Amino acid sequence: MTNNLYTRLLGLLPQAPVMTGAVAELHGDGTASVQLHGGGLLRVRNPFEAEQGAAVFVQDGAVIGDAPSLPLVLIEI
């Protein structure tokens, strides 16, 4: 166990969720609009230069990689 209080505090804070979506629009400033599968539209940094229509993972306001382009299945219990 560490004695650094700041490190212990950071361990208590939640990490940013990883979301999936499709690139809806590319912008000239290196950002992209991503349509999330759960609904919503985010404008995020696009360091990997994902193409329009590509399925991507988004975390902390940036595209972090390619996502598999699988169909979304919703099961209600």
Digit-by-digit pLDDT tens for the chain (77 residues) are 568 899 888 888 888 999 999 999 999 999 999 999 888 999 999 999 999 999 999 999 999 999 997 877 889 99
Q: Measure CA 61 to chain center.
A: 7
pLDDT of residue 30: 96
CATH code at 13-66: 2.40.50.140
pLDDT of residue 72: 73
pLDDT of residue 57: 96
